[in-house]
Structure 1
């Protein structure tokens, strides 16, 4: 049987044709020379590769400077997850590329759904995928009579959220060797990393990933729905699954994750709004983002419809949370620095919202998300950041800019109570940088957004602000300084 070359995000059994298929794994140092990745992300990827090689005698691990140096025999490989990797596979002699795995909807089915549509929207694709794969369906109708429980899943955070801790990750000798190698690479090879090192927080083996899946279904899924958009200071995980890194490494098949979630509803009585909200993230959003990466043209990543040209400031790019006084931004940036992970609302409404308000370059921001998050890959972050977070594609995959002032953060978190800034104030020393930034952003792009019906009401509000010019001048003078 031909050896299967597995990239480091294809490490589960669903990437093989049979349990006894021989496997080639490649650890390429050049990958870490090209970009400054988060230290914990580098550790997780290397630990996952080395654990699989150590646990399965079918696997041969080759350490090389480049993939091309390591792939010297005929192999098969599942379709890679980036255009650069696909181009590499096509250049290498003796490599047969198979269709992609690790996603639910097949590429040809997505293309058949997408062709001829003026706009591509998650909700439309999600309903199609539910029907096509018969997920959370009662015959021809959605379970519970509703497709979407999103409106029920926007409750502000409780004072505290008490959830049993997930099964701990116990580091072993492989993790010790990975850490020593990363130290040596930094010391001797000039390879740089971002963020703080620390105990490994995310699974590097399928056994660990399955234990996390079991824990989520039993303890976190029943609380997930209502608070999925809520934020609590010092609690970056809330009731979220923490499975994204495991699924994106290929340790878990999204199909099995969806099946476990649906079974929790069907057999165990878990609230449908919790299950539906989670299924929408995997069957809907994850697959949607993956397919958009390939469906949109290669130049999509350079989209910049709002003309955002500012460079990422050093304090943000370097994860210097201690330089930031705004409590929400400081806490979220610290979560990225310390864990390489925060959930989707801090990513969108704290990090992305701030960047869009300041006009930071969308492509540079997408690259930062790719490098700084343990679950970040080019396919993950391209449409997520370019399209949804920064609205740089003029609405090709979302209906409006996700811009919001301090009132939103105050409603959906406990950050504002302990912050030096006041979310109700937009001018002066106590002005919330999100509130002031929101109105400055709207004023700057009033003409760009005038035709968007979802922005009519906030744009109309600009005319009621007697101090708008002063707010704009204040935000321009702030520049790239940390708030």
Structure 2
């Protein structure tokens, strides 16, 4: 029985479930670059180039391993432009008896796949994506009967399940979470090691030229492309992180520096999410570093929590919440996304820095996303769906299953607390404490009123005031509201007027 095995662009793993049981000299692997996936949002140029180049390299890896691979390039003149269209072409040519595919990561793709069996009149074997540690059923079982879906408790269950940083039933170090030790600002360090970068080979150079030709107006820049696009190079990035950056990762993971966009971050999410690295293997490598005395517990625990905690939890929330989750809008925010999110041109240095780094690198680390671009959008009342689309477009590691709950649930609190316990709202004081952005900004983070006052300050208080009816029962905001209530009416009026003037001019 001949099979046509479809492998998607974020399934670049030889152990992907769709390849299990494949007969190399009989079955055909189908991989295709299609315009429908490249254009459903306006992806960053580097994101498109990374995915296409990684796909082409993975196809070569499969061929060398003995698989028969049918590959459609984005510029092939007969390209049907969609997964369904390319499947039809392959079925017409090859006459397979069945289709095999690993389940996709997004509702949008899944809905199309559900139609294939009837459309093509052949069986479709859709298999679970077992690269994840918690299946859909696992998350459903964990969430059943819970009043709140708190990530911390999910994370502890994942620790027990994997045995990572565990001594029997107890966590190594006597604590589940060392986050309090991971909130230090950072200082410029000329001796910080360089993160590895890779010169484009012939395949990547060809992809870069195609992307520039077909997507000239997309967000971002292609120059300086240095992503790993093979499994071997992605492994080199992992080894560099463990040796050079993991020891100091924890203490600076919430810090931001204007001239150091990567700090001690791993830069591994691109490769884990695309399938070039295995998530559990990455965690095991970090765990070994701790037990070998090469990295402290706060760094290793914090890093592992990002993967088996947040990453797995976000996927669980995405599928548990359903396809309508994208339309959640708890605060009823409707303001359009300001143009500077695309241009990087704003006098607010924190936003300008982070957005321009995103334009260049298709990357920003989690605190930049949460507490700079996300925080501003929340305070300014930006439409959360517009914010979601922006994040999905501009980051090379963004896939909807992980990006959507991070933005709608965590960053914008648009689900009203389904995911998080409070809005991640902060004034300029937080940005000043955790970064060096404010030192060269024309706005003063210590001022709340006036032309040179940091906009985040008045916006923060205005956000709390205008949303009091929705947030007053949130215990984690009790102190903030108590501070607001102690202000005299004149101060409150001035802050809200300051915010109103700023928002009226926001375009």
Does TM, scored on the shorter chain, surpass 0.5? yes
Q: Is the 8 A contact 1:327 1:418 kept in 2?
A: yes
> Equivalent residue for 1:473?
497
SS at match of 1:23: strand
Equivalent runs, 1:346-361 vs 2, <5 Å: 346-361=368-383
Give the whole-Å Cα distance in 2 for the aligned partners of 1:407 and 1:479: 20
* 1:221 maps onto 2:250 in alignment: no
Paired residues for 1:431-470 under 5 Å: 431-465=453-487, 466-470=490-494
Q: Which runs of 5+ in 2 are unaligned?
A: 74-78
Q: Secondary structure at the match of 1:255?
A: helix
State how 1:274-423 maps to structure 2 within 5 Å.
Answer: 274-316=299-341, 318=342, 320-321=343-344, 323-423=345-445
1:54 lines up with 2:60 in the alignment: yes
- Aligned equivalents of 1:18, 1:167: Cα separation in 2: 36
2:192 paired residue number:
163
Pick the aligned partner of 1:247 from 259, 272, 281: 272
CA distance in 2, matches of 1:211, 1:408: 35
Aligned to 1:89: 113
SS at match of 2:192: coil
| Structure with the greater alpha carbon radius of gyration | 2
Displacement after TM superposition at 1:394 (Å): 1.1
Secondary structure at the aligned position of 1:194 is classed as: coil
C-alpha deviations, 1:280-302, integer Å up to 9, x for none? 00010000000100011321111
C-alpha separation in 1, matches of 2:388 and 2:40 = 16
- Distance, in Å, in 1 between the alignment partners of 2:504 and 2:101 is 44
2: CA distance, partners of 1:364 / 1:38: 16
* Deviation readout 1:291-339 (Å, 9 max, x if unpaired): 10001132111111111111112222x2x11x21111111001111111
* Cα contact 1:43–1:179 (8 A) shared by 2: yes
Deviations along 1:156-209, whole A, 9 cap, x unmatched? 11243733213321101112211221232246xxxx411122222322111111
Matched, 1:4 2:29: no
Equivalent pair of 1:265/1:275 in contact (CA under 8 Å): yes
The answer (yes or no) to whether the contact 1:245–1:374 under 8 Å persists in 2 is yes
The residue aligned with 2:205 is 176
223-232 or 83-92, which moves further after superposition? 83-92
1:39 aligns with 2:30: no
- Checking the alignment, whether the CA contact within 8 Å between 1:156 and 1:230 is kept in structure 2 is yes
Measured at CA, do residues 267 and 37 of structure 1 come closer, stay the same or move farther in structure 2, by a change above 3 Å?
A: same
Residue 262 of structure 1 is aligned with which of 267, 278, 287? 287
Please say if residues 79 and 101 of structure 1, whose CA atoms lie closer than 8 Å, have aligned partners that are also in contact: no
Whether 1:17 aligns to 2:23 is no
Asked if structure 2 preserves the Cα contact closer than 8 Å seen for 1:13 and 1:19, the reply is no
- In structure 2, C-alpha distance between the alignment counterparts of 1:443 and 1:430, rounded to whole Å: 22
Shift in Å, 1:19: 8.8
How big is the shift at 1:381? 1.4
**Residues 1:119 and 2:148 are matched in the alignment:** yes
1:482 offset after TM fit, Å? 5.8
Q: Report which stretch shifted further, 306-315 or 209-218.
A: 306-315
Task: Please say if residues 44 and 374 of structure 1, whose CA atoms lie closer than 8 Å, have aligned partners that are also in contact.
Answer: yes
* Aligned-partner Cα distance in 2 for 1:216–1:75: 39
Question: Gaps spanning 5+ residues in structure 1: where?
Answer: none
Q: Is the 8 A contact 1:311 1:364 kept in 2?
A: yes
Q: Would you say the 8 A contact 1:125–1:284 is kept in 2? A: yes
* Separation (CA, whole Å) in 1 of partners of 2:173 and 2:355: 38
C-alpha distance after superposition, 1:1-49 (max 9, x if no partner): 7343111000012213269755221110222233211111111111111
Deviation at 1:480, TM superposition (A): 6.4
**Partner Cα distance (1:473, 1:482) in 2:** 14
- Residues 246 and 19 (structure 1), Cα distance of their counterparts in 2 relative to 1, 3 Å cut: farther
- TM-score after normalising by structure 2: 0.90
Answering whether residue 265 of structure 2 is matched by residue 237 of structure 1, we say no
- 2-structure distance, mates of 1:162, 1:19: 49
Residue of structure 1 in register with 2:34 after alignment: 28
Mapped contact 1:161–1:238 kept (Cα < 8 A): no
List per-residue Cα deviations over 1:414-464 (Å, max 9, x = no partner): 111121111111111111011121111111112211000110110111123
Is residue 102–residue 127 contact of structure 2 (8 Å, CA) maintained in 1? yes
**1:13 match: secondary structure:** coil
Distance 1:391 1:171 in 2: 40
SS in 1 for 2:137: helix
Aligned residue in 1 for 2:227: 202
Q: CA RMSD in A?
A: 1.7
